[in-house]
């Protein structure tokens, strides 16, 4: 059993920083869980408490059914990969991977088997004799991962392991990591501030803000049914359009348009949430439309983003890249009202 559970876990650093605030989170055996949120929201602290590198102020953490609050790090059967992977510069790739096992007194034959298996999996075989300085960033990152794999831990903790890589390599390594996760049958907890990494890698995503867990759900659910405005705005690029509205029954009125909601949300003031792709260049039969005054056009090849205003509100739309639009144009857009979100102005919670 290598499930992990945080039960009402709080971390207060000296100086009274509340880094993690009453976190309850269950990570299932062999699950790939991503912790995501902006810098300083407590992601690393949450991982470091699980690894035993930080004390827990309140609450408890379990690995399987064992409470590990007071268990020394080396007994936790966890391996951690950090952003700064600090390989030993004077040691070969092989020795870098073998070092931790040697320190633990693992038999030599066993070390050899484990390092060679990990090297095979990570395609590091031909590089085993090299020193870290003779490797590319991506190769070094794989060695760091290899160092964790040879430990054969039940739980892998990865703290922004890809942030030192360039964009292309990040994508490759992201895919590599997903393959590894499947092959290793281990539990992965992966920390990132990058919502694309979270969406693409996680079986489930846990979104954090200021030490407080906002929502835990599979990527589709997080994207399609965000629990509050924070999650809605954090996940998705370009970000969801937020438009202040007054609501009467089922009718939502913005400064420049109004539309019928699928049902009455039971609030009078709210913020309408429209994903850029829920605005379509062809008005949808039976659905509302709005007139976008286009200010900026971005063509990305596969996508075209229109940035502009409707009444007093800024709006971004994702449209067919073949549609010819220029700044200054007015474009009639349809709104797919099945994909609308509405957030209560007072609580910022989703009410639709
Ligand atoms: N050793 C420490 N002593 C005091 N405060 C700390 C310590 N480590 C972190 N903090 C504070 O705790 C909060 C959470 O930090 P943490 O490193 O967990 O954030 P993070 O989500 O990992 O951010 P990042 O994305 O920048 O790595 C921050 O306000 C940070 O300044
Ligand atoms: Mg961090």
Task: Give 201-213 pLDDT, tens digit per residue.
Answer: 999 999 999 999 9
Specify the pLDDT at position 247: 96
Range with lowest mean pLDDT among 50-54, 55-59, 238-242, 283-287: 283-287
Atom index in ligand 1 nearest the CA of residue 44 equals 22
CB of 193 within 6 A of ligand 1: the answer is: yes
Label residue 125 by pLDDT band (50, 70, 90).
very high
Label residue 343 by pLDDT band (50, 70, 90).
very high
Specify the pLDDT at position 227: 98
Specify the pLDDT at position 137: 83
Specify the pLDDT at position 1: 60
pLDDT tens-digit series, residues 252-297: 999 999 999 999 999 999 999 999 999 988 766 666 789 999 999 9
Specify the pLDDT at position 121: 82
- Mean pLDDT estimate for the chain: 93
What is the mean predicted confidence (pLDDT) over 166-189? 88
The rounded percent of the chain whose pLDDT value lies above 70 is 98
CB of 227 within 6 A of ligand 1: the answer is: no
pLDDT tens-digit series, residues 206-241: 999 999 999 999 999 999 999 999 999 999 999 999
CB 61 within 8 A of CB 69: yes
- d(C-alpha 278, C-alpha 272), whole Å: 12
Q: In what order do the strands lie in the sheet with 32-36?
A: 78-81, 155-159, 187-192, 32-36, 204-209, 212-217
CB of 68 within 6 A of ligand 1: the answer is: no
What is the separation, in whole angstroms, between the first and last Cα of the chain?
38
Label residue 167 by pLDDT band (50, 70, 90).
confident
CB of 40 within 6 A of ligand 1: the answer is: yes
The rounded percent of the chain whose pLDDT value lies above 90 is 81
How far apart are the CA of 216 and the centre of ligand 1, in A? 21
Residues 6+ apart with CB under 8 A from 2: 29, 30, 63, 64, 77, 154, 155, 186, 187
CB of 192 within 6 A of ligand 1: the answer is: no
The residue extents of the domains of the chain are: 4-230, 238-344
pLDDT reading at 31 higher than 70: yes
Protein residue closest via CA to atom 13 of ligand 1: 19
Radius of gyration of the chain (CA): 24
| Peptide bond preceding 238 in cis form (omega within 30 of 0) | yes
How far apart are the CA of 83 and the centre of ligand 2, in A? 9
Domain 4-230 sits in CATH at: 3.40.50.300
Label residue 63 by pLDDT band (50, 70, 90).
very high
Specify the pLDDT at position 286: 65
CB of 273 within 6 A of ligand 1: the answer is: no
CATH topology of domain 238-344: OB fold (Dihydrolipoamide Acetyltransferase, E2P) (2.40.50)
Residue 316 CA, chain-centre distance (Å), reads: 23
CB of 335 within 6 A of ligand 1: the answer is: no
Q: Which ligand is nearest to the CA of 43?
A: 1
Label residue 13 by pLDDT band (50, 70, 90).
very high
How far apart are the CA of 18 and the centre of ligand 1, in A? 9
CB 236 within 8 A of CB 242: no
Atom index in ligand 1 nearest the CA of residue 42 equals 18
CB of 219 within 6 A of ligand 1: the answer is: no
Specify the pLDDT at position 168: 83
pLDDT reading at 123 higher than 90: no
- Which helix (H) or strand (E) segment holds residue 73: the answer is none
């Amino acid at each position: 059993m290598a499930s992990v559970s945080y039960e009402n876990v709080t971390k207060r650093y000296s100086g009274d920083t509340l880094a993690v605030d009453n976190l309850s989170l269950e990570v299932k055996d062999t699950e790939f869980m991503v912790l995501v949120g902006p810098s300083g929201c407590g992601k690393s602290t949450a991982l470091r408490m699980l690894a035993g590198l930080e004390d827990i102020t309140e609450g408890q953490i379990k690995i399987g059914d064992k409470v590990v609050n007071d268990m020394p790090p080396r007994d936790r059967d966890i391996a951690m990969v950090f952003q700064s992977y600090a390989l030993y510069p004077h040691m070969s790739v092989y020795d870098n991977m073998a070092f931790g096992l040697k320190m633990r007194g693992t038999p030599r034959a066993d070390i050899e088997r484990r390092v060679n298996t990990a090297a095979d999996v990570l395609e590091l075989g031909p590089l085993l004799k090299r020193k870290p300085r003779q490797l590319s960033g991506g190769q070094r990152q794989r060695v760091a991962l290899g160092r964790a794999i040879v430990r054969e831990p039940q739980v892998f903790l990865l703290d922004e392991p890809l942030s030192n890589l360039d964009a292309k390599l990040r994508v490759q390594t992201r895919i590599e990591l997903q393959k590894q996760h499947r092959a290793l049958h281990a539990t992965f907890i992966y920390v990132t501030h990058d919502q694309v990494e979270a969406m693409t890698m996680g079986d489930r995503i846990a979104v954090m803000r200021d030490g407080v867990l906002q929502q835990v759900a599979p990527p589709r659910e997080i994207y399609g049914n965000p629990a509050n405005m924070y999650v809605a705005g954090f996940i998705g690029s370009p970000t969801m359009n937020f438009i202040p509205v007054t609501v009467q029954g089922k009718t939502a009125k913005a400064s420049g348009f109004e539309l019928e909601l699928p049902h009455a949300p039971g609030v009078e003031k709210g913020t309408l949430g429209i994903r850029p792709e829920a605005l379509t260049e062809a008005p949808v039969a039976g659905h509302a439309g709005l007139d976008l005054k286009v200010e900026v056009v971005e063509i990305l090849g596969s996508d075209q983003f229109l940035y502009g205003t409707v009444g007093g509100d800024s709006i971004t739309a994702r449209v067919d890249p073949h549609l010819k639009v220029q700044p200054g144009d007015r474009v009639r857009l349809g709104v797919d009202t099945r994909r609308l979100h509405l957030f209560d102005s007072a609580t910022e919670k989703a009410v639709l």
